[in-house]
Structure 1
């Protein structure tokens, strides 16, 4: 049976140890630090999560944070991530636990200080990431009940950002925020060009939103769709000149925002989705 030696006790649920590669790790488990002593051995079955420290930026800052926080904050962060992983049927980067714990701590500090920071992208988060927002909203309700506080709905929007960001191994929080802004602007471009109001409850909207989210992710990861076959592209732009014109406006907007080139294959799929959403 695999065992871990306790090198340092951080709190009732977290201890420092080393793995089989002699890398420092943080071990998480209910009560594993309670009444433990340095040098004690822990069985692998007692451990719920294992964080490899060399994979985490600014780990010393997070270690200091963990040692200063109540156990409730650790448990609430773990509960929220477990619930999110199960509900969204996804896995998160290991570092999300620490960034979310840090955010939760500051959110509670702001609450007790009476400081309210408005989330100006709250409406867009609700629209573009409804599943993550509902999970975050449930988490805020649970946290409020456990701690007898009243964190506002804006915090659900902030946590949703972290959940979206934590699902990608390459996307940064800056990219997540920029993605939301660009999605909002792209929908506004389409609505303006065709003088319409897009039905955000329609299936075409949902499909277009999903396409754009993956499109923007491909841009950030430099994995745009490519094709040497120009025949279909030329056919589509001749048959749908208005949609092509709108796609070009979006293309110029993205080039201006990100200083990139966009392939004809990506523009082709963009046109096809615009056709569906405006007709």
Structure 2
């Protein structure tokens, strides 16, 4: 690996023999080196492979964050991986550290930001929101600054991004997409509550399954990915057996098309109908016996 560009004493943009670029970090890694020099791999402590963000931009982002803050956020990412699963990868580290770096600067200046969708984040992503609060504890213990409690909310969104495949280092664009998805989840649950005259228990197992399904439906629709094939006879059987739930599913599909101009196929409507059936089932029914969609 050779040096392509030195950003500071700790951050270097490297390039391999195939021309692939990697952001490399290590204490003193960039000291007295210049473009074209061979890098000492033993001094490399971290490396980041650019994905959605250009390599030079990613390197500049890394160079702007003190190493001690990055080390603290590595601890946060490790804790999030333990709690939320292995999909929390190193790709979320730099966007997360960048947000915390700016939040620390605001805290030291006595400035605050109002974050939208506080209720939605707390209720739709309870595990991620809890991890966001744990992150605030770790930051306080390691850096001696207590961030405003609302800072747990954007941290939670970063953890959501990482789990659904958006935590690739593209920064604010990912957060914008996740906020968009969060708005859709809220609208969907409100529509179901209105159709059935009930208040949906956001913390029930059925709601958790439904929200997970809606997350992946959002991503499939956004990325234009096909829905798993379903036999037409099964779809018609569900429509006949559960006409109210199927009608609600059609309304949800139509609303998604209105909000995002995405096509929602008949197979997705079938899965939505099954989830609506579970979500609105009474305790004394057998609705929960359906296989997960």
TM range (shorter): 0.7 to 0.9
Deviates more, 1:65-74 or 1:235-244: 65-74
Matched, 1:145 2:145: no
Aligned to 2:98: 102
1:77 to 73, 76, 80: 73
Secondary structure of the corresponding residue to residue 22 of structure 2: strand
Cα deviation for residue 253 of structure 1 reads 0.9
Distance 2:61 2:208 in 1: 40
Cα deviation for residue 4 of structure 1 reads 6.4
Per the alignment, do residues 137 and 4 of structure 1 end up closer, same or farther by CA in structure 2, a change over 3 Å counting?
Answer: farther
Aligned to 2:6: 8
Secondary structure of the corresponding residue to residue 40 of structure 2: strand
Aligned to 2:182: 180
Aligned to 2:157: 161
Cα deviation for residue 83 of structure 1 reads 2.8
Contact 2:74–2:93 under 8 Å retained in 1: yes
Distance 1:59 1:41 in 2: 17
Per the alignment, do residues 77 and 10 of structure 1 end up closer, same or farther by CA in structure 2, a change over 3 Å counting?
Answer: farther
Distance 1:62 1:213 in 2: 27
Distance 1:228 1:277 in 2: 21
Distance 1:196 1:26 in 2: 51
1:238 to 222, 237, 240: 240
Name the Cα RMSD after superposition: 2.9
Aligned to 2:117: 121
Distance 1:223 1:173 in 2: 21
Cα deviation for residue 152 of structure 1 reads 1.6
Unaligned runs of 5+ in 2: 168-173, 282-293
Contact 2:221–2:263 under 8 Å retained in 1: no
1:221 to 214, 220, 223: 223
Cα deviation for residue 116 of structure 1 reads 1.6
Per the alignment, do residues 182 and 221 of structure 1 end up closer, same or farther by CA in structure 2, a change over 3 Å counting?
Answer: same
Distance 2:241 2:124 in 1: 30
Distance 2:163 2:206 in 1: 24
Secondary structure of the corresponding residue to residue 198 of structure 1: coil
Unaligned runs of 5+ in 1: none
Query: Could you tell me the TM-score, scaled by structure 1's length?
Result: 0.83
Cα deviation for residue 168 of structure 1 reads 4.2
Distance 1:163 1:204 in 2: 22
Deviates more, 1:112-121 or 1:223-232: 223-232
Secondary structure of the corresponding residue to residue 196 of structure 1: coil
Cα deviation for residue 140 of structure 1 reads 1.5
> What is the count of residue pairs matched by the alignment?
272
Cα deviation for residue 122 of structure 1 reads 2.2
